[in-house]
Structure 1
Amino acid sequence: MRSLPLAGIRVLDLTRLLPGPLASLHLADLGADVIKIEDTGAGDYARDAKSGYGDVNYFQLINRNKRSLRLDLKQAAGVEVFMRLAGDADVIIESFRPGVVDKLGVGYKAVSSINPKIVYCAITGYGQDGPYRERAGHDLNYLGYSGLLDQIGTQGGTPAMPNFQIGDLLGGSLTALVGILAAIVDARASGHGRYVDVSMTDAVFAHTLFPLLAVLGLGHALPRGEDVLSGGLPCYGVYPTSDGRHFAVGALEPKFWQLLCETIGRPDLKPCAYLMGSEGLRIRRELEAVFVQRSFAEWTAVFDKVDCCVTPVLRFEESLANEQLQARGMVVEIDGVKQFTPPYKISEMPFEVRMPAPAAGEHSDDILREAGFSADEIASLRSRKAI
């Protein structure tokens, strides 16, 4: 069997909560040796994050296949340990506010001086420079500054808060992965690493393509719920059924719209797919009147047989059991907890859970021994509470 794509890559992960740990989860699933470095106090706050849903929290879902080392970087001994590990690492990921790692003595300049091939990624809300660099923030704040939050929601309503952390996950996780993997490829070829500065606000902003199109063409973004893909077109929207459920209509292409109109018995609507404004609203109301005549189950039976981009809006527990997602192996159970498997399927790379999410400091001794620390040195570090 071939080795995993990132086998041999060592990652030191200083991040906490959601964005950084999800990025390092992907690296770990791809075979990297991810060492989760937590302080000797609270460690990763996500360990004790209360979801309100019982005993399971998201720490368990995003920290599999990693090892854990507890390390006090406020002690010189802790910094010395980190730098010894960094000398042989490929990637470091951190998510402190700008300048913190430099004050601790473990920033990019310090590490690259002993390990020129290091890829050092910093994930922050606003980036390493600019007037907001020092500000605190969460996902909703990044969406607000990027202009995206103002675009999410229905016509005439207030901005909607998505139960999907767009800034954290698109920005802090996936955008960071693009930069890290590109820099790893370059470092392997050139022997020189890079500093990867990821701003979650930048990442969201850089993907707001349709609002930008509106500004370029009209001089301003369209109001919430009125752009082509947010409710402005009748052929692309969400329609209620008789029992309070919904169907997603994505019949953007003429052939799909025409087939939809035939299926619901409204061939007269065929010329109306791309109407906007008051006329588009009138056609949406016509479609609403049709969809509300049948139940969710009835429409599901109808459109299962018709390929026109009209699909049920599933509740999440229904998605977990969905036949397509099940066939793709998208859900796995680890220690009795359901989790997502990687969303990419790579040839000759079967998904494997090598380790569940680690206990804090679970692998400290193993990691230090591998780095050449003697039993006496490890005992000394522990007595000083540096680990």
Structure 2
Amino acid sequence: MMPPLEGIRVLDLSTLLPGPLCTLLLADAGAEVIKIERPGRGDEMRSYEPRFGGDSANFALLNRGKRSLALDLKQPDDRTAFLELVATADVLVEQFRPGVMQRLGLDPAALARVNPRLVYCSITGYGQHGPLAEVAAHDLNYLAQSGMLGLSAGADGTPPLPQALVADIGGGCYPAVMNILLALRQRDATGTGCHLDVAMADNLFTLMYWGLAEGQATGRWPRAGRGLVTGGTPRYQVYATRDGRHLAVAPLEDKFWHAFLQIIEAPQLEDPALDPQATRDAVAHAIAQRTADEWLQRFEGRDVCVALVATLEEAVTHPHFRARGLFDRRVRNADGAEIAALPLPIDARFRAGGTSASYPSLGEARPQEFADTPGAERFR
């Protein structure tokens, strides 16, 4: 089956994570992605550790199957080459601060005059307008500003550092892909592209639907250590075992909770609402009496919503994820060495290419390579 985005040309001016992951998803679905990089240095992600060949392993995972074109958009010849590419493109992705592309004369209005069918996607932290639009920030700042970070707290009340870049991926990359696909569908009907304003901080509120519902409906806004999924119930906690491992315990429904209590031999804790803290302490005491392996054996085959808090290495090698084929695809460097490609949330039937693909060296492509493709004829 032909990949659904075959024939779609994407110009990627982004660096680091949100934009490159967005265009990786598009490439995996068949799009031709041309990565526009600064001559000499390229994407900052190339310099990160650890190394995988000449560039970083991070860069390799995020840029599998793309091409790299080194252009200085302030130089007349390179600018001309870029605008010729714009005339043949379907999508452009950039994540500069608001105003940067306008100062270069490459803002959405200017490029729409070159190619009115272009879907122009801007990914920023706080969007193209508003009081915070020009504020410098990273993932942790967006989580803090949106209220998400404040919903978690450590023993001393300090929120722990999240171990996933939720704003970059959940607030930036995924909404960008979604809206690009919607814009392409709309373009099919209207013949006209558009400008997409993807703000990472904005999109975090979607992930806190339950907190918004509770706060607005009752006036009781959730706080860390309270609420159904933020530490307020013994039914949704992490408990330490005797050997220093941890179990993620989430038997929220009564049937799971009752089964869980029977296994840990604490049926007297049937109603945790009477004294949540006492119940949590009692469960913690019970779990601390056995090792993680002993508990996993007891929970085996039972519907109790309990899982071991695995290390990343344990998760990658778990038979379930291996059986799902998550790490079957490969990315290779210029020396021919390979590592597992980044698993992507794209159905296998929509993926392009084979199981192994390379990532581009800086500036390996030349503008003339893209001049005679079928897509170039669409706007001549």
TM-score for the superposition, normalised by structure 1: 0.89
- Aligned residue in 2 for 1:325: 321
Q: Is the 8 A contact 1:65 1:354 kept in 2?
A: no
* Distance in 2 between residues matched to 1:202 and 1:90, nearest whole Å: 26
Residues 191 and 369 of structure 1: is their aligned pair in 2 closer, same or farther, counting only changes over 3 Å?
closer
Say whether 1:18 aligns with 2:49: no
Report the count of equivalent residues: 367
* Distance in 2 between residues matched to 1:71 and 1:27, nearest whole Å: 22
- Aligned residue in 2 for 1:357: 359
Aligned-pair CA distance for 1:346: 4.1
- CA displacement, residues 140-179 of structure 1 (integer Å, 9 cap, x when unaligned): 1111111111112346420111111111111121111111
Q: Is the 8 A contact 2:29 2:346 kept in 1?
A: no
Aligned-pair CA distance for 1:366: 5.8
Q: How does 1:274-285 map to 2 (within 5 A)?
A: 275=273, 279-285=275-281
Give the letter aligned to residue 341 of structure 1.
P
- Aligned residue in 1 for 2:186: 186
Q: 1:309 aligns with which of 305, 308, 314?
A: 305
Give the letter aligned to residue 356 of structure 1.
S
Say whether 1:101 aligns with 2:97: no
- CA displacement, residues 238-288 of structure 1 (integer Å, 9 cap, x when unaligned): 11111111111111111111111122222222233xx27xx1111111111
Aligned-pair CA distance for 1:343: 2.5
Q: Is the 8 A contact 1:36 1:66 kept in 2?
A: yes
Residues 315 and 22 of structure 1: is their aligned pair in 2 closer, same or farther, counting only changes over 3 Å?
same
Q: Is the 8 A contact 1:14 1:92 kept in 2?
A: yes
Residues 241 and 37 of structure 1: is their aligned pair in 2 closer, same or farther, counting only changes over 3 Å?
same
Computed over aligned residues only, the root mean square deviation of the Cα atoms, in angstroms, reads 2.2
- Aligned residue in 2 for 1:383: none
* Distance in 2 between residues matched to 1:58 and 1:195, nearest whole Å: 29
Give the letter aligned to residue 294 of structure 1.
R
* Overall identity of the aligned pairs, in %: 40
Give the letter aligned to residue 189 of structure 1.
A
Aligned-pair CA distance for 1:97: 0.8
Aligned-pair CA distance for 1:125: 0.9
Aligned-pair CA distance for 1:112: 1.1
**Structure with more contact order per residue of length (Cα contacts < 8 Å, sep ≥ 6):** 2
- Aligned residue in 1 for 2:295: 299
- Aligned residue in 1 for 2:202: 202
- Secondary structure of residue in 1 paired with 2:270: helix
Q: Is the 8 A contact 1:320 1:326 kept in 2?
A: yes
TM-score for the superposition, normalised by structure 2: 0.91
Range moving further from structure 2, 299-308 or 177-186:
299-308
* Distance in 1 between residues matched to 2:181 and 2:155, nearest whole Å: 40
Q: How does 1:49-198 map to 2 (within 5 A)?
A: 49-50=48-49, 56-154=56-154, 156-198=156-198
Give the letter aligned to residue 45 of structure 2.
A
- Secondary structure of residue in 1 paired with 2:247: strand
Q: Is the 8 A contact 1:15 1:95 kept in 2?
A: yes
Residues 90 and 162 of structure 1: is their aligned pair in 2 closer, same or farther, counting only changes over 3 Å?
same
Range moving further from structure 2, 34-43 or 331-340:
331-340
Give the letter aligned to residue 64 of structure 1.
R
* Distance in 2 between residues matched to 1:369 and 1:7, nearest whole Å: 17
- Secondary structure of residue in 2 paired with 1:243: coil
Q: Is the 8 A contact 1:79 1:104 kept in 2?
A: no
Q: Is the 8 A contact 1:46 1:57 kept in 2?
A: no
Aligned-pair CA distance for 1:20: 0.4
- Secondary structure of residue in 2 paired with 1:195: strand
The runs of 4+ residues in structure 1 deviating greater than 4 Å are: 51-56, 348-351
- Secondary structure of residue in 1 paired with 2:231: helix
Give the letter aligned to residue 280 of structure 1.
P
* Distance in 2 between residues matched to 1:84 and 1:6, nearest whole Å: 21
Where in structure 1 are there 5+ consecutive unaligned residues?
Answer: 373-387
- Aligned residue in 1 for 2:259: 259
Aligned-pair CA distance for 1:111: 1.4
